[in-house]
């Protein structure tokens, strides 16, 4: 039996006693809505007549027809591993910011859609033909099924177009706002179809930031009526130094054979990557996070200077107008109890030092600190410092998992056991008590 299957089985066995107790007492499981992280669900595209390929390999004829009506899987497609097709992929993933409309849009001629909203189907594997290589939430979903959860009945998925982010209220954000509307309706549907049982929002990484925005932007009576708990895995509440690496010199996100410079422009165009830059309220205004090839030092308080320094001045306006006022609200909690499950004691980029020879066109020397390998510990633990003692008594619980990485929190045996344990605990109390 494969190691991954053994891990799942051990996680399931840890929750069997609670399952038996729930069944014997007649309790109904609180519905769960899963919100994935960046890159954590499939994304499909279709090219229309306005599409201008950057090379003959990127022509519409070579991409169309994989699904009905010309749709094909944009993320994840293994052809991205081959350099000529990496450029095609990057062109199609690229967003464009329109300063007059103050919003982000797809590249001309590229239509995109998120498949299977409401279901966990597009969260299980990024490519269903490469299940062993592209499994994402499948181990977690199998563990939840093991304690009685059923897809479409008590278990729901909220995939989204992770290239887009949110903007401060008062700014247009047509894709992000639509996702929050869809997520709100899904929460209402999940609760309504389960006898009014309040929903557990179970999020990973960037998905936690979207869930937080949903809760902050919803009236308190709606939140208290529909949401029982926010169970947040590996959420970058205050951003991450890793996002500065992504924008400065490109980030392959662990995908082999890909030249980071081929995807850098696309990654710079991503609205959500600006959202993930370090928040000065969390990282402070003094600590140096990046040292440029000219020995210029950049802190979380000088992100605009950083964007100018790396040669991405067009990112300054949307960052200053849309992101800064959004992240200034980091001290405001969601209004429901929160459990943060985070990896720790994994080497995580804390400072980036760029050499003079090629500057930001080469990968930097990395000075490491504590975190989950992607998100810095100061960001993972931000709710404990910012919300726990805030007026109103925001409840925050933190569970640390030493040696568990950002992605492994969805697969690691100990992590799955703790997640299932927390879900089981929430199901073991009456709905009148928010634990």
- Torsion, Cα of 106, 131, 206, 120 (10° steps): 90
**Cα angle, residue 385 at apex, residues 379 and 386 outer, rounded to 5°:** 90
181 noted as active-site residue: no
* Residues paired with 399 in a beta bridge: 341
* DSSP strand pairing (290-291 vs 348-353): parallel
Give the pair of three-digit tokens for residue 136. Answer: 């994402």
Q: Which of 30, 204, 229, 406 is catalytic?
A: 406
134 noted as active-site residue: no
Q: Which of 103, 161, 372, 412 is catalytic?
A: 372
What is the 3-state secondary structure of the chain? CCHHHHHHHHHHHHCHHHHHHHHHHCCCCCCEEEECCCCCCCEEEEECCCCCCCCHHHCHHHHCCCCHHHCEEEECCHHHHCHHHHHHHHHHHCEEEECCCCEEEECCCEEEECCCCECCHHHHECCCCCHHHHECCHHHHHHHHHCCCCECCCEEECCCCCCCCCCCCCCCCHHHHHHHHHHHHHHHHHHHCCCCCCEEEEEECHHHHHHHHHHHCCCHHHHHHHEEEEEEECCCCCCCHHHHHHHHHCCCCCCCCCCHHHHHHHHHHCHHHHHCCCCHHHHCCCCCCEECCCCCEECHHHHHHHHHHCCCHHHHHHHHHHHHHHHHHHHCCCCCCEEEEEEECECEEEEEECCCCCHHHCCCEEEEECEECCCEHHHHCHHHHHCCCCCCCCCEEEEEEECCCCCHHHCCHHHHHHHHHHHHHHHCCCCCCCC
193 noted as active-site residue: no
Element (H, E) at 35: strand 32-35
Please give the positions annotated as active site. Answer: 205, 372, 406
């Amino acid at each position: 039996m494969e190691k991954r299957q053994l891990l799942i089985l051990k996680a399931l066995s840890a929750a069997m006693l609670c399952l038996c107790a729930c069944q014997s007492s007649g309790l109904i499981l609180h519905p769960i809505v899963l919100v994935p992280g960046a890159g954590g669900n499939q994304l499909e595209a279709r090219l229309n007549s306005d599409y201008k390929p950057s090379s003959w390999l990127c022509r519409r004829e070579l991409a169309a027809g994989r699904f009905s009506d010309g749709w094909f899987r944009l993320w994840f497609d293994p052809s991205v591993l081959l350099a000529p097709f990496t450029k095609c992929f990057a062109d199609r993933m690229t967003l464009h910011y329109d300063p007059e409309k103050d919003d982000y849009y797809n590249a001309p001629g590229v239509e995109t859609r998120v498949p299977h909203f409401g279901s966990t189907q597009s969260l299980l594997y990024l490519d269903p033909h490469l299940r062993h290589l592209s499994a994402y939430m499948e181990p977690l979903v199998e563990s939840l099924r093991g304690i009685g959860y059923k897809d479409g009945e008590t278990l729901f998925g909220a995939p989204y177009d992770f290239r887009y982010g949110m903007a401060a209220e008062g700014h247009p954000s047509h894709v992000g706002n639509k996702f929050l509307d869809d997520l709100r309706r899904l929460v209402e549907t999940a609760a309504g179809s389960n006898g009014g049982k309040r929903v557990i929002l179970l999020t990973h990484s960037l998905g936690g930031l979207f869930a937080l925005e949903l809760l902050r932007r919803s009236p308190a009576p709606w939140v208290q009526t529909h949401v029982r708990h926010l169970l947040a895995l590996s959420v970058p509440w205050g951003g991450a130094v890793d996002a500065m690496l992504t924008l400065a010199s490109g980030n392959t996100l662990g995908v082999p054979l890909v030249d980071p410079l081929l995807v850098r422009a696309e990654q710079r165009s991503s609205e959500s990557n600006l959202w993930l830059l370090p928040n000065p309220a969390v990282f402070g205004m003094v600590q140096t996070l990046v040292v440029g090839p000219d020995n210029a030092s950049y802190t979380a308080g000088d992100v605009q200077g950083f964007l100018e320094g790396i040669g991405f001045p067009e990112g300054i306006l949307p960052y200053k107008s849309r992101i800064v006022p959004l992240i200034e609200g980091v001290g405001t909690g969601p209004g429901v109890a929160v459990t943060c499950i985070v990896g720790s004691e994994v080497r995580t980029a804390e400072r980036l030092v760029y050499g003079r020879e090629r500057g930001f066109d080469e990968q930097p020397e990395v000075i490491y600190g504590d975190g989950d390998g992607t998100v810095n510990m100061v960001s993972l633990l931000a709710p404990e410092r910012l919300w726990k003692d805030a007026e109103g008594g925001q409840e925050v619980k933190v569970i640390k998992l030493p040696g568990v990485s950002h992605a492994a929190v969805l697969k690691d045996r100990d992590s799955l056991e703790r997640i299932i344990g927390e879900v089981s605990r929430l199901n073991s109390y009456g709905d009148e008590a928010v634990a």
